[in-house]
């Protein structure tokens, strides 16, 4: 079945690009990657893949994307790190047009399997007020009190997937991603997430010789971060196994943001003076993935250590920084 058509919505994005590479490496020869961005803005763009620039908010474009598809992976959404989703709530909610139209188009096209990328932002905020957070079980999404904007759109689409299965027989799978990071991701510009933002700040401080770093919040907020290779493997396993309910896909290695900075400093071989921007967007105080169910369903869970993943991520961002700005550019600018 390596010639079956696989469609990846959001194929020009960070996770979508890695998922395209994952299936290419497994020998699949009929992959269609779809994204709204111009091709020169795609995170990864591959020869031998049918690459389409389409706005998936439009139903006709979703029909074009799903035509002849056996499997559809919908990762397309308007999103970014906490600095973006807390200030672009309407834009995040409008992703419901993508979600709705892709489900309709997949059903009408006779797609066999449909995957939707949800988020840990669906979880009830009252269960995430303490840094010493109890890992979030799937049932903790209800009673509903999701992240305003982005989280509500994700939770609504989870329900749509459920009802498309119940009412139309569409095979759907839903994974709740927990903070995915790795090479080829956004590392500047306002949409980057904490691992990339902190890596960039450490690189800039080291290059400039100005050993200071600004941290959003008090640094005590806790998170888990999943390396991209665990994410793509998990998507594949969830799609092709009996996982009939939304399920966590994330690492359960909990760290504070201060500990994440410690890791990046150690990789860079530098110690920085920390300044805390307490009025910056920081999200919930604590969030971690309970992996009990994914282990029950799959006998597997994300396991790549944060230190190992951050080593690769930091090195890649460093190379991107030097390629774009030149080695020593920050020091020259501050002179």
Q: List the one residue out of 160, 158, 269 whose CA is nearest residue 211.
A: 269
3, 158, 227, 273 from 179: Cα distances, Å: 32, 18, 9, 26
Strand 71-74 and strand 6-9: the pairing is parallel
- The answer to whether 54 and 65 have CB atoms below 8 angstroms apart is yes
Which of 22, 116, 123, 150 does the annotation list as catalytic? 150
Distance CA 128, CA 168 (A): 35
Beta bridge pairs of residue 251: none
Active site residue 321: no
> Collapsing DSSP states into helix, strand and coil, what is residue 289?
strand
Tokens of 173: 């799978």
Q: List the one residue out of 233, 322, 277, 305 whose CA is nearest residue 82.
A: 277
- The answer to whether 183 and 316 have CB atoms below 8 angstroms apart is yes
Question: How many CA atoms lie within 13 Å of 126's alpha carbon, on the beta-carbon side?
Answer: 6
Distance CA 273, CA 67 (A): 54
Catalytic residue positions, numbered: 150
């Amino acid at each position: 079945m390596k010639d079956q058509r696989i469609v990846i919505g959001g194929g020009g994005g960070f996770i979508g690009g890695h998922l395209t590479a994952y299936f290419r490496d497994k020998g699949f020869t009929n992959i269609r990657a779809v994204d709204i961005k111009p091709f020169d803005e795609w995170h990864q763009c591959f020869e031998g893949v049918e690459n389409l620039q389409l706005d998936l908010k439009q139903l006709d474009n979703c029909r074009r994307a799903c035509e002849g598809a056996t499997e559809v992976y919908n990762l397309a959404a308007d999103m970014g790190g906490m600095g973006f989703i807390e200030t672009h709530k309407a834009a995040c909610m409008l992703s419901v047009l993508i979600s709705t139209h892709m489900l309709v188009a997949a059903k009408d096209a006779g797609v066999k399997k449909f995957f939707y990328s949800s988020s840990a932002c669906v979880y009830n905020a009252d269960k995430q007020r303490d840094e010493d957070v109890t890992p979030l079980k799937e049932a903790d999404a209800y009673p509903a009190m999701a992240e305003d904007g982005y989280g509500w759109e994700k939770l609504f689409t989870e329900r749509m997937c459920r009802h498309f299965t119940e009412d139309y027989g569409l095979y759907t799978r839903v994974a709740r991603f927990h903070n995915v990071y790795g090479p080829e991701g956004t590392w500047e510009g306002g949409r980057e997430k904490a691992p990339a933002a902190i890596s960039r700040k450490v690189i800039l401080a080291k290059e400039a010789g100005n050993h200071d770093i600004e941290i959003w919040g008090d640094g005590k907020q806790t998170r888990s971060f999943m390396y991209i290779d665990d994410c793509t493997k998990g998507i594949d396993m969830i799609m092709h196994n009996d996982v009939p309910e939304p399920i966590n896909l994330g690492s359960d290695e909990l760290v504070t943001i201060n500990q994440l900075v410690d890791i990046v400093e150690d990789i860079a071989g530098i110690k920085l003076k920390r300044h805390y921007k307490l009025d910056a967007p920081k999200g919930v105080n604590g969030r971690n993935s309970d992996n009990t169910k994914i282990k029950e369903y799959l006998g597997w869970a994300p396991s790549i250590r944060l230190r190992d993943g951050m080593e690769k991520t930091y090195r890649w961002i460093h190379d991107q920084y030097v390629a774009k700005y030149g080695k020593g550019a920050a020091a020259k600018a501050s002179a």
